[in-house]
Each structure stands twice: as structure tokens, then as C-alpha cells.
Amino acid sequence: MLKTKIMGEHKVWLITGASKGMGLEITKAVLGNGDKVIATSRNTDTLLEKVEEHKGTLLPIKLEVTNEKDVENAVLKGIETFGQIDVVINNAGYNLLGNIEEISDAEFRKTMDVNVFAMTHIIRHVLPHLRKQKSGLIINTASMMGYMSYPANGSYSASKYAVIGLSEALAQEVAPFGIKVTIMAPGTFRTNFMNEDTLNVAQHKIDAYNLDKQVEQFTGFDGKQLGNPKKLAEVVLQLAEMSNPPLHLPLGSDSYNAILKVRKNEMEEMEEWKTLSLSTDFEQH
């Protein structure tokens, strides 16, 4: 149970992709906890319908996160309205199913634009404010798929691996300014992410890969995901209260167990090929 807040303790959150899925649940939990939210979405009407009772503490901003100028304006408007930003949730995401040979350059770039470059736009424009106030928490949403990959998930995994690498560097860069970074790596959560109506699929299908079958297997998990997005939102609230939040945070038993298994397999493989790995150094005299 979260403690009751006293005057002056309320935080201001910036949340992208706030109108559905995990972003919506986080937005609702944050507002319910008495904090203020700058909520960005491509569809603010949908968002307002779902959180209309919080209009005084909610600033909805229609935003295409891939447009850096719009991102800059959104951050400035949020600061102008609420005076500060304390927690940033980079949640907006895009998933594309397609085998590498099938994915067009434009499709791959869109995945990277939304999942990596848009996140970087947000970070770039909030950091001057966070550095000035010498505090803040940036939560970047990666995925268990940022630690491993599967057929037809290459572009999504590539983007989430990038989120992790970027966030690890960012955490070290901003630590001297009192700013914390957490990489949130959800497993499968019951949102519309695996719904066939919202799924993006490569347009150029090659029969040899049978992409339709891969898509069917993926969407077959819809409604059966282990993760509860409301519980994820409660964890996010806890992160915001921590003086030393984790850098890496898998969420869900599927994510936690899969990442541990991958790490174990990597260690075994490295040990198996250790002699070859160490054979490339100059001879030491």
C-alpha cells in the first residue's frame, strides 16, 4: 500500500503511448495516486474518455513521437503547465512481424523510428529540465525480446536491444546529475499488443518462411498472456518512490525466467569457445 502523500510530494509524469495498453494503465494508476500526468498519444480523445475524471491533473497532448519538433513542443508545454517533470515513461511502441528477408527498408525503419529514435527525442528534450532540477527518473520500456529473439521478430528485437544499450549508456551519463534510469523489460501482458487487428505484418511475404503461420502462432497468445497490466502499473509507482531503482527490471515470470535461461546459455557457450576467444590477443612477454 502506497503512503498517503502530503503537500509538495506530488510528482509530474510524462508518459508516451498513454491511451491504451500498459501506457493507459500506468496513466490511470499515476492519476489515482494523486500525481499529475503529461500524457501523449496519437489519439487523445480515446484517452480522455477513459480518464475524464482527472482533467485537472491531466494534460493530454496529441503527439506523433517520431516528429522531434512536436516532441520538443510537448515537453515545453508540459513544463509550462505543471512547472516540472519528475518521471518519464517512454512507453510508445511499434511491433512488426516479418522474417528478415521479408522486411522492407521502410518497414524496418518505422520500427526503429518509433521504438528507438522517438524515445531518444523525448530523452533529449527532457534532460535539460531534469539536469537543472538535479533529479528525475527515466523509465525506458524495452522487452524480454531485447534480451533474446525468435523467428519473425528480428526488427522488434533489434529495436529493443537498442533501447537496452542506449539506456545503459544513458544511466552512466546522467548519474552525476541525480537522474536515475530503469530499463523495464515486460514479458507478455494482456493488452492489445498481440491482437491481430492491431498487429503489423511485413507486406512482402515469402512462401518459404510461412509468415502467416508465424503470425497465427503469435496472435494465438492473445488473451492468454501471463502479465497483468494493472500490476505492472503498481510496480511503476513503486519505482518512482525508490532512491536507487534497478537499472534492469524484467516484469513477468516469463520475462524473468527467459532472460535467466538466455544468460545461462550464453555463459556456457562462452566457456565452450573460450580458447578461441582468447587466441586473438598479442603474445604477452
Which of 137, 155, 158 has the alpha carbon at shortest distance from 147?
158
User: Which string of DSSP letters, residue by residue, matches 177-190?
Assistant: GTEEEEEEEE--BS
Apex CA 193: angle with CA 188 and CA 194, to 5°?
A: 75
CA distance 196 to 253: 24
The one-letter amino acid at 75 = V
Residue 161 annotated among the catalytic residues of the structure: no
Question: Distance (Å, rounded) from C-alpha 73 to C-alpha 138?
Answer: 19
Residue in 150, 156, 161, 256 annotated catalytic:
156
270 is written with which cell numbers?
562462452
Please answer whether residues 31 and 54 qualify as being in contact, where contact means their C-beta atoms are separated by less than 8 angstroms: yes
Catalytic annotation, residues: 156
